[in-house]
Amino acid sequence: MSEQPLPTLPMWRVDHIEPSPEMLALRANGPIHRVRFPSGHEGWLVTGYDEAKAALSDAAFRPAGMPPAAFTPD
């Protein structure tokens, strides 16, 4: 079984409201995807609300030295 190439970001939108067809296809296939950035670096794209909320509230995904208070609205 061969490895599939990673989707590359950015994915250009057809208009200013709807996500790109590529983004819609990724979202339809699951909430978390490995992607390649224009710089060549690999990372994760989270398209699901619950998964994004969990990742953003998890201290393991927070940059070192940035207190949680920095993320709360004033």
Strand residues in 1-74 grouped as ranges (E): 32-36, 42-46
Distance separating alpha carbons of residues 43 and 21, to the nearest angstrom: 20
* Per-residue pLDDT at 49 exceeds 70: yes
Q: Six-digit token pair at 16? A: 């200013």
Return the H-helix or E-strand segment holding 33: strand 32-36
CA nearest 9: which of 39, 49, 36, 47?
A: 36
For the chain, give me the number of helices (H) and strands (E)? 2, 2
Over residues 26-48, the pLDDT tens digits come to: 999 999 999 999 899 999 999 99
Model pTM above 0.85: no
Q: Six-digit token pair at 60? A: 């393991």
